[in-house]
Amino acid sequence: FQEQIDKFMNGETNDEDLIAAYTATQNYLAQLVAAKRANPTDDVLSELTDSDLSDEELQGISLILLAAGFDTTANMLSLGTFALLQNPEQLAALRADPGLIDRAVEELLRYLSVAKSFMRTALVDVEVGGQTIEAGTTVVLSYNTANRDPERFTDPHVLDLGRQDGAHLAFGHGIHLCLGQQLARIEMRVALSALLDRFPTLRLAVPAEEVGLRPETADIYGVKNLPVTWDK
């Protein structure tokens, strides 16, 4: 499943391989749904099988939950580590005060915003920045641009783990607010804290410009690889 979803998300897969990945994923999910219907276990999908949802609907829900549940968080963890290693003064502040982790996670989410943009359709006429968006018009919202808005954030292009000036849009907003946002926060707090605690001398093994990044066309931004080293 992870290999197939990476083909969806990496921004470099050709159309033929995308179709093959989609087919393989749907086949996997069909088997998963059938297995959960036959032998329910203590998990979300098993509970959903005890509903009026069809197999196709369960497959669709599973695809969204599973794909969004690991690719975004995995890339936030790797990009967050990359960002900290590139900002040694911020990394040192976090090492010196582990209690800073909650604020650090929020700042990394603002600073990185791996889910860059989404399309939304206006239900009524609305004015934004002096521009009228008519009902029925579809617009592209750039979350990473909003999270670097100089009218909202002081020094928006600076990673500042002590930042106090407000909430970000990394998880969306309103009725579209990410349903997994609290799980993602917990995963980042636990993983980054454990990583820094276990490897106190962690550092990049290559120059920062040599770290492989996903292309800007990728739905979810991230690193292809992050070579690191540490003192044994």
Closest CA to 137 of 151, 126, 149, 153: 126
Q: State the 10-residue block means of pLDDT for the chain, 232 residues long.
A: 83 88 92 94 92 92 83 92 96 94 95 88 92 95 91 94 86 86 94 95 96 86 93 89
pLDDT at 165: 77
Q: What's the total number of domains in the chain? A: 1
**Domain housing 34:** 2-229
Which residue spans within the chain are E strands per DSSP? 117-121, 126-128, 131-133, 138-142, 203-204, 228-229
CATH code of the domain covering residue 157 = 1.10.630.10
pLDDT at 231: 94
14, two tokens: 């050709």
Q: Give this prediction's pTM.
A: 0.85
